Structure 1
Amino acid sequence: MNDLVNGNTLVFKVSEQGEIGELNITGDVTNFIADMSDVTLEVVEFIKNNLITFGQSIDSKKGSFVIVSTHQFDENLNIVPTMQEAFDYIEMEEIERQLDF
């Protein structure tokens, strides 16, 4: 899955093996949701450093990066248990950016 939602949010699926397909990123994409709901904790631990680096890169560009997972594996990453919470989190961060928080 690699879906553009709301024009500026890209949702992508991370496979059970921790693989990510090609991301079709347009100039308007500023927010990313990684669906890792099917990924085991062992695989998450294996790719955690890449996720942190990606998240820092997105954050430095005033975007949001949210991971959907039932595993809480790093306090520096935005991890939520459901896709709806991921969209809500991004919406809250966009409001904060508009208000310069």
Structure 2
Amino acid sequence: MRILKEDNTIVFTQEESSVEAFKEALQDVYNQYISDNIILVLTTEVIKNEDLTSFFKLSNNHREAKQSFVMVSQHVDIDYSPQELVIVPTLQEAHDFIEMEDMERDLGF
């Protein structure tokens, strides 16, 4: 897993062969980044809904802490993905989404 810090956002890029292994690696370091926005870049070409739903707990915990949690993948059919997760096709869209959420939080929404 590659980790890149950009301002108040941490980008985790999957290098593991499976989404499950990536999630386990993320859980090992998650507490270090709980006060930052998180972007997960999933590189696996076949991603099942079960793979995505395994991130529910991390996503919910992060949102409760008033931080953004966004997943990036071009291999997910967004129409059939869990609505509780934020999944976008590009890294730029993830940054844009976080910027909008930061503005909403600043305005008290």
Task: State whether TM-score is above 0.5.
Answer: yes
Which deviations, in whole Å up to 9, do the C-alpha atoms of 1:57-94 show, x marking residues without a partner? 00000000000012022111110000000000001000
Name the SS for the 2:29 alignment partner: coil
Counterpart in 2 of 1:5?
A: 6
TM-score of the aligned structures, taking structure 2 as reference length:
0.77
Where does structure 1 differ by over 4 angstroms across 4 or more consecutive aligned residues?
A: none
Identical columns (%) = 30
| Counterpart-to-counterpart distance in 2, 1:51 and 1:26 | 15
What stretches of structure 2 of length at least 5 have no aligned partner? Answer: none
1:26 deviates by 4.9
What stretches of structure 1 of length at least 5 have no aligned partner? Answer: none
Name the SS for the 1:41 alignment partner: coil
Which deviations, in whole Å up to 9, do the C-alpha atoms of 1:26-70 show, x marking residues without a partner? 57x42000001334123xx33333311110000000000000012
Task: Specify the code of the residue in structure 2 equivalent to 1:38.
Answer: T
1:13 deviates by 1.7
Would you tell me which structure has more helix in proportion to its own residues?
2
How do 1:12-23 residues align onto structure 2 when only pairs under 5 Å count? 12-14=12-14, 15-18=16-19, 19-20=21-22, 21=25, 22-23=28-29
Is it true that 1:98 corresponds to 2:102 in the alignment? no
TM-score of the aligned structures, taking structure 1 as reference length:
0.83
| Counterpart-to-counterpart distance in 1, 2:50 and 2:33 | 28
Task: Specify the code of the residue in structure 1 equivalent to 2:72.
Answer: V
| Counterpart-to-counterpart distance in 2, 1:56 and 1:90 | 15
- CA spacing shift, 1:12–1:39, aligned 2, 3 Å: farther
Counterpart in 2 of 1:51?
A: 55
Q: RMSD in angstroms over aligned alpha carbons? A: 1.9
- CA spacing shift, 1:3–1:34, aligned 2, 3 Å: same
